């Protein structure tokens, strides 16, 4: 706590909630709050009181909303999907192109709502087994072989949805997935280069604009089983730190629509 005792931190919480502390005190409190539910709750209470002090029935300022609306970003996942499904945007003027290019640079970033992290629990019901985790002559090898067989079967099953994942930046990497109608799916045949062991590939599903983790693929994935909600519209893969993340802020390196 940067030299502050818990009691000292607590004494500052009222002033902190009113933005009335010095920078070094604020830093100490903000380092402390995530690990102290009691202090966090007290700050929340103080802020509720402050909000009531600030209460005003004044109308929203005129003209400001239109400025806000003008600067809102377009939904990233939908724009990604438009390109992948073969729908091409109409020709646009050069400066608009530049604008879109600028947006595209940020578009594949997998931003999710708080709800996305919650949905992960509900959707990640299947097993996620990276074949790179299997070692020779152990049961993992058998499991990997079995998954590979199932994956090949899924690829050849005309009733399964086939998903081709390609690079939005035209990098020469790709992956293929096949998804049965019950939501069980397999990602295989990837040309993904092996990552440093401190990193991992992570698979995401996009449904109604919400991005949900479907599993951590490991640093050198080969064949991976996953499970997704049948209404999932698209798959994406990012590179994350080993262990994966609940919500990604990184760009997708591969994306593909679930046809």
Rounded Cα gap, residues 228 and 18, in angstroms: 45
Contact between residue 219 and residue 242 where contact means Cβ atoms under 8 Å apart? yes
Note whether 34 binds another protein by CB under 8 A. no
Note whether 6 binds another protein by CB under 8 A. no
Specify the residue, 41 or 82, whose C-beta has the smaller distance to another protein. Answer: 41
- The burial class, CB within 10 Å (0-12 / 13-18 / 19+), for 87 is exposed
> Judged by CB under 8 A, which stretch of 92-100, 113-121, 142-150, 233-241 contacts another protein?
113-121
Note whether 205 binds another protein by CB under 8 A. no
Which residues make beta-bridge pairs with 174? 166
Note whether 215 binds another protein by CB under 8 A. no
- The burial class, CB within 10 Å (0-12 / 13-18 / 19+), for 210 is middle
Out of 2, 6, 20, 89, name the contact with another protein by CB under 8 A: 20
Give the β-pairing of 199-207 and 210-218: antiparallel
Note whether 97 binds another protein by CB under 8 A. no
Out of 5, 67, 90, 93, name the contact with another protein by CB under 8 A: 67
Note whether 50 binds another protein by CB under 8 A. yes
Note whether 64 binds another protein by CB under 8 A. yes
Which residues make beta-bridge pairs with 178? 162, 186
> Judged by CB under 8 A, which stretch of 54-62, 128-136, 214-222, 231-239 contacts another protein?
54-62
First to last CA, the chain: 52
- The burial class, CB within 10 Å (0-12 / 13-18 / 19+), for 73 is exposed
Note whether 52 binds another protein by CB under 8 A. yes
Binding residues (CB under 8 A) for another protein: these are 11-15, 17-22, 40-41, 44-61, 63-65, 67-69, 71-76, 78, 111-116, 208-210, 247
């Amino acid at each position: 706590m940067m030299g502050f005792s818990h009691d000292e931190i607590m004494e500052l919480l009222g002033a902190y909630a009113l933005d009335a502390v010095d920078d070094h005190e604020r830093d100490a409190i903000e380092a402390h709050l995530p690990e102290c539910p009691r202090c966090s709750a007290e700050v929340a209470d103080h802020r509720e009181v402050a909000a009531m002090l600030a209460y005003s029935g004044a109308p929203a300022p005129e003209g400001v909303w239109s400025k806000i609306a003008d600067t809102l970003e377009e939904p990233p996942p939908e724009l990604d999907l438009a390109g992948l499904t073969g729908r091409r945007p109409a020709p646009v003027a050069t400066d608009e192109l530049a604008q879109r290019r600028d947006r595209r640079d940020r578009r594949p970033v997998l931003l999710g709502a708080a709800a996305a992290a919650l949905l992960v629990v509900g959707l990640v019901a299947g097993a996620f087994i990276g074949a790179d985790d299997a070692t020779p002559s152990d049961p993992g090898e058998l499991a990997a072989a079995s998954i590979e067989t199932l994956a090949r079967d899924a690829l050849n099953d005309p009733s399964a949805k086939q998903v081709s994942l390609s690079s939005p930046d035209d990098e020469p990497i790709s992956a293929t997935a096949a998804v049965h109608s019950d939501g069980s799916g397999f990602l295989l045949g990837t040309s993904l280069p092996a990552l440093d062991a401190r990193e991992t590939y992570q698979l995401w599903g996009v449904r109604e604009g919400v991005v949900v983790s479907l599993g951590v693929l490991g640093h050198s994935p080969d064949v991976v089983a996953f499970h997704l909600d049948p209404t999932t519209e698209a798959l994406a893969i990012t590179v994350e730190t080993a262990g994966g993340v609940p919500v990604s802020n990184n760009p997708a390196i591969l994306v593909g629509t679930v046809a």
